Structure 1
Amino acid sequence: MDGLTEAGLKKLAGARSFERGRGYLDAVSGVEVGDGWVSASVHGTERYEAQLTLDGPGGLGGECDCPYGLEGNFCKHLVALGLTVLARPASLPRQRKAARDRAKDLDRWLSARSKDELLALLREQVDEDRQLRRRLELRAASTRGDLTTIRARIRELLDIDPFAQYGYVEYADARAYADQAGQAVSAIGALTGSGRATDAIALAGEAMVELTRAVECVDDSDGWLGQVGAGLADAHLDACRAARPAPGELARWLVGHALGDVDDGLTDLDPLDYEDVLGVEGMATLRKLAVEAWRANRRGWAEKYLMERLAKAGGDVDTVIAVHAADLSPDGHTHLAIARELDAAQRPDEALRWAERGIRDARDPATVNTALVDYLCDRYAQAGRLADAVALRRDHFGAHRALLSYQQLRVAARAADCWPAEREGALALLRADAGQRTQRGYGGPVLVDALLDDEDIDAAWQAAAEAGADDRQWLTLADQARATRPADALGVYLRLAEPLTQQTGNRVYAHLVSLLLGIQDCHRHLGTPEEFTEYASALRTAHKRRRNLMRLMDEHHL
């Protein structure tokens, strides 16, 4: 078991996944041991297949087909498999030796068979294994140079019909379909490897079209088809590097692919990956075609993205700015993107002008991009323009009367040494809102939150009493005021605790106990601890069957 230890598993998985893996020990089944690997099924949200590599080139490793594992992570299912193996230390060496012996025995037996016997065995497997049959058919067609047959087989592999009910592949069948589609990628790669890269280029492009059509009818929640698409992109690039197609023709195909409806993000094909294949001539054609397409449709998302990508790769900041400037958003988001590009190019004065223009161009102050406001305020602070930062925060607060914008105004005004005056104006707006019941879609008046955040407890209590408050605000008020206003806080705690005594559940019990601690503290400040004792005793008597509640009360000596 070299390399397989609890410490090794924890190092690969991280503390969180390692601890979660401990909870899956009972979910491991069908453990199979090979010479250098161990595999099993692990039943989580779904059944996943996990395999540990015991002594690979990099030491201990593993793969799992759960979503987290597919991202290259050492997941909790692999941890569970590893811990299961470690729980049987004596059996693993014996099982590995048995696997080696079985492999040697099989190899000797196969070596002793005649050609006819081996063909009979293979034909038997071909009859039973559809995927094997298709792989061999593709190899045979490739050897014959039969492009028509290869094309037909690849289309069969990408056909959803065998997996679809009512024209749609459900989640449970998506993995099987993706495995079959992956065979098409392998076949295209094999063509390149056998010296037929030109055919591979054509078939990869056609397969991208077929796969994009198919994905509309597949529940690909786990991203299986995304992996197939990425494989197709790699196969196409490899084929182009081997075949060296005409640069101009390849450039036109790449632009058409990037701007058309074929890809839909599935292959994530990047034209710049082909720079070594395109050469100077092809890259010039690519840029020319991209510019023409963008000029014809300056607001097209794909056209803008391609132009921006090419301009950034060439270090052409002015073109990047021109692309953004041709389609400015009314909230200033695009202005901010331009400002950041200019900052990266060491052109801060231009960046500042674009950011300020974003504020001026905004049609409605309430829709101004918050990140643009933050950017400008940071720039103003760095330049010592504190009054400008306060003015911008004041306008933003006027349009967004929320606790966060109040806090941001306070920071800016304190830096400019004018918070008392700004605070009075801001609170006047919040009082007007509270008086007119102009509240958020949820929660109580922002006025109460602002006063609480200012630690002005008496004013916050008065505002809550006059304008109302939600339970969260009342609880915060009680927590902050129970030392100075214990009677008022006690009333809040008792009111909030009453409905919880009629509910069950550990979260309810935890909340109730926290309120009981507040009630106890209020009675302590009031000098009436005996009243709390009577209250807690009555609660215990009424709810003695709720064992978890009683346990929590015991833990807190209530």
Structure 2
Amino acid sequence: MGGLKEAKLRALAGERSFERGLAYVDAVSGVDVGDGWIRASVRGTERYEVELRLGGRGKPTGTCDCPYGQEGNFCKHLVALGLTVIGQEADLSQRRTSARDRARGLDAWLTSLSREDLVALVREEMAEDRQLRRRLELRAASARGDLAEVRSRIRELLDIGPFAQYGYVEYADARAYAEQAGQAVTVIRSLTTSGRAADAMALTREAIGFLAAVVENVDDSDGCLGQIGGDLADAHHDACRAAGPDLVELAHWLVTHALDDAADLTDIDPLDYEGLLGEQGMAALRRYAVEAWRANRTGWAEKHLMRRLAKSGRDIDTVIAVHAADLAPNGHTHLLIARELDTAGRTAEALEWAERGIRETEGLAAVDTALIDHLADRYTLTGRPADAVTLRRDHFAACRTLFAYQRLRAAAVAAACWPTERESALAHLRADAERADASGGRVLVDILLDDGDVDAAWRTAGEYGAHDGQWLFLADQSRPTRPADALAVYLRLVARLTHETGNHAYEQLVSLLLGIRDCHRRLGTPDGFTAYVTDLRATQKRKRNLMRLMDDHGL
């Protein structure tokens, strides 16, 4: 047990958990020392069971059933127990020896008891411990082969009634319920290992259904019921493997379960049973999946199962059929089909589906831009640059944005026809702006700036208007060549900010003042800036953070 130090605990837990663990040392109780381990209870939000393992040359490890500890972390409760161990290190060797002596004494005493005395002892303990009685009743029913009794007991274990107030299990009681429900998994697994796998398989399915029916009424913030659902899924798979079930019936259950709400609880994947189902079972699985999909072609679960089965069997046509049964109006589903066909090497069909997506969409303004990109790329790769430009031009005409313009520019440059396309695109935007469409003028300003045509952007902003961000960008870009124009922009923006408070506004204001100072320097009017700043300081002097920030920048 020796060798445990505070520094080692700090390294294992991290600074935050270690510091929080210091406050829990007094909450440690019931320290139990064994051979290489120490267990205790720690009172936190609730009482947690904690175990430290110190044997061997490796670093100490530990487990705690608090939410943070269950994620595999060395939590504050483990730190508290570790600090307690360090504080009691002198007594540990003696306590370990005493624990071994007690264990040997208990074993010797139990061995010495007669059969009648052991039975009396167990009955006495069952009378005091309800959980022990339930566990032994389940074992007895299982040993007798009493399936009805085992089923009844499992339903009791999964019943939320004893833990629920007003039909709902609160967070504080959820862990206790999960611990009880977990016993059902143990019972089912014992049936499989005792040669009754068929019964285990049937009971697992019933348990899954029962748990799925109550899970919405439990505050499972810690994910305990999700873990039990996963354990039930594993128990079902193990039982099926041991039982050698009817493959067609198993396939039917797997499809039914995959389409049921309980699928979210267990995350059972029908394809995980492929090795067990074999050719006959997989054929039945596909048949049942197709029937379910035909009955509900737009159902997400049905489509997802069909796509997975089709891909696992490399059945690309079925994948396409599933997608095609529910085409999205914006062309996104057409794109998915095109990509599947491209992956399968069926490029001509892929191109046809992509073009069909453009034709059948509600309008290019609403089309999935990924479909536009996909089709334009295919045109370019197949030596059809003019078609790529046409597609990009039509998209820009329907959706006049900077993004659509940039894509048109790239396609037209590649096709060596950009000057003509650019003039046509700009003409569309000018027409929008002249119709008193403010957004058209602002988009035109962004596009001219993106093209690097700052002078044209200035003229457009002056003629059709621009938002403050555009004016600021224009001023910053044009300060070396148009300092007077830039100065006018900065002064207007500063005037607005002087009515605002807060560090963010102050940082913006100081940045503008630096621009104003540079404009006055370029104009040869530094005294004008000095007078401006002096006046500004006088009117804004109550804003201490602003004054400090201006001092920091020499303003």
TM-score (norm 1): 0.78
CA distance in 2, matches of 1:173, 1:337: 46
1:105 to 78, 93, 98: 98
Alignment partners' CA distance in 1, 2:90 and 2:272: 46
Structure 2 residue identity aligned to 1:229: G
Find the counterpart in structure 2 of residue 201 from structure 1. Answer: 201
Q: Contact between 1:444 and 1:470, CA under 8 Å: does it hold in 2?
A: no
Structure 2 residue aligned with 1:14: none
Q: Distance in 2 between matches of 1:523 and 1:47?
A: 71
The answer (yes or no) to whether the contact 1:22–1:80 under 8 Å persists in 2 is no
Taking the aligned partners of 2:251 and 2:500, their CA distance within structure 1 comes to: 68
The answer to whether structure 1 residue 397 and structure 2 residue 420 are counterparts is no
User: What are the Cα deviations for residues 1-42 of structure 1, in whole angstroms up to 9, with x where unaligned?
Assistant: 799989x979xxxxxxx9xx6566654442679967999999
Match of 1:448 in 2: 445
Q: Distance in 1 between matches of 2:456 and 2:91?
A: 79
Shift in alpha-carbon separation, 1:495–1:361, aligned structure 2, 3 A? same
The separation in 1 between residues aligned to 2:517 and 2:43, in whole angstroms, is 49
Provide closer, same or farther for how the CA distance between residues 449 and 93 of structure 1 changes in structure 2, counting only shifts above 3 A.
Answer: same
Contact 1:53 1:60 (8 Å CA) reproduced: yes
How many Å apart are 1:515 and its aligned residue?
Answer: 3.2
CA contact (8 A) 1:39 1:49 kept: yes
Structure 1 residues 131 and 513 mapped into 2: Cα distance closer, same or farther (>3 Å)? farther
Stretch of structure 1 that moved more, 264-273 or 519-528:
519-528
46-55 or 279-288, larger mean C-alpha shift: 46-55
Kept in 1: contact 2:64–2:77 (CA 8 A): no
Map Cα deviations across residues 281-325 of structure 1 (whole Å, 9 max, x no partner). Answer: 212221222233334443333332222211211122222223223
Structure 1 contact 3–54 (Cα < 8 Å) conserved = no
Which residue of structure 2 lines up, in the alignment, with residue 15 of structure 1?
none
- What is the rounded CA distance, in whole Å, between the counterparts of 1:327 and 1:431 in structure 2? 40
Q: How large is the Cα RMSD of the aligned pairs? A: 4.6
Q: Determine if contact 2:517/2:526 at 8 Å carries over to the other structure.
A: yes
The equivalent residue for 2:242 is 242
- Counterpart Cα distance in 1 of 2:68 and 2:383: 47
Show the counterpart of 1:481: 478
CA distance in 1, matches of 2:51, 2:422: 62
How many residue pairs are counted as aligned between the two chains? 538
- Specify whether residues 89 and 216 from structure 1 end up closer, same or farther in structure 2 by C-alpha distance, changes over 3 A only: closer
Query: Does the 8 Å CA contact 1:110/1:118 hold for their aligned counterparts?
Result: no
Tell me what 1:216 maps to. 216
Closer, same or farther in 2 for the Cα pair 1:220/1:546, shift >3 Å?
farther
Aligned residues with identical type, % of pairs: 60
1:43–1:555 distance in 2 versus 1, CA, 3 Å: farther
Pair 1:370 & 2:369 matched: yes
| Deviating more after overlay: 532-541 vs 272-281 | 532-541
Distance apart, 1:139 and its partner CA:
4.5
Q: Which moved more, 1:172-181 or 1:61-70?
A: 61-70
Q: Could you say if the C-alpha distance between residues 91 and 149 of structure 1 is closer, same or farther in structure 2, counting changes exceeding 3 Å? A: closer
Classify 1:204/1:89 alpha carbon distance in 2 versus 1 (closer, same or farther; 3 Å): closer
Match of 1:13? none
Query: Is the deviation greater in 425-434 or in 544-553?
Result: 544-553
Matched letter for residue 304 of structure 2: Y
AA matched with 1:111: R
CA contact (8 A) 1:497 1:512 kept: yes
C-alpha contact (below 8 Å) 2:155/2:207 kept by paired residues: yes
Q: What corresponds to 1:511 in structure 2?
A: 508
**1: CA distance between counterparts of 2:44 and 2:468?**
42
The code of the aligned residue for 2:232 comes to L
2:343 match: 344
Q: Report the Cα distance in structure 2 between the residues aligned to 1:494 and 1:38, rounded to whole angstroms.
A: 71
Amino acid at match of 2:444: L
Q: Calculate the TM-score normalised by the size of structure 2.
A: 0.79
8 Å CA contact retained: 2:487, 2:516:
yes
SS at match of 1:483: coil
Instruction: Report the residue type matching 1:233 in the other structure.
Output: A
**AA partner of residue 492 (structure 1):** V
Aligned to 2:262: 263
Preserved contact between residue 24 and residue 77 of structure 2 (Cα < 8 Å): no
- Which stretch shows the higher mean deviation, 394-403 or 510-519? 510-519
- Counterparts of residues 419-438 of structure 1 (less than 5 Å): 419-436=418-435, 438=437
Larger Rg: 2
Question: 2: distance between equivalents of 1:126 and 1:540?
Answer: 84
Aligned 8 A contact 1:49 1:64 in 2: yes
Residues 1:372 and 1:540: Cα distance change in structure 2 (over 3 Å): same
The answer to whether residue 525 in structure 2 is matched with residue 525 in structure 1 is no
Which whole-Å CA distance do the structure 2 matches of 1:48 and 1:408 have between them? 60
Say if 2:434 is the partner of 1:416: no
Letter in 1 for 2:512: L
Residue 324 (structure 1) aligns with: 323
Provide the residue aligned with 1:155 in structure 2.
Answer: 155
- Does structure 2 conserve the Cα–Cα contact (< 8 Å) formed by 1:27 and 1:43? no
Which shows bigger deviation, 519-528 or 452-461?
A: 519-528
* 1:339/1:354 contact within 8 Å kept: yes
C-alpha separation between the residues in 2 aligned to 1:318 and 1:138? 51
- Give 1:198 deviation, angstroms: 2.2
Q: Does the CA-based 8 Å contact 1:22-1:79 persist in structure 2?
A: no
Q: Is the 8 A contact 2:69 2:75 kept in 1?
A: no
For 1:164 and 1:424, the matched residues in 2 are separated by 72
The 1:518–1:133 alpha-carbon spacing in structure 2 relative to 1, beyond 3 Å, is: farther
Task: Report SS of the residue matched to 2:411.
Answer: helix
Could you say if the C-alpha distance between residues 251 and 533 of structure 1 is closer, same or farther in structure 2, counting changes exceeding 3 Å?
same
Structure 2: 5+ residue stretches without partners = none
Distance 2:438 2:396 in 1: 15
Which consecutive residues of structure 1, in runs of 5 or more, have no partner in the other structure?
A: 11-17
Secondary structure class of the residue paired with 1:445: helix
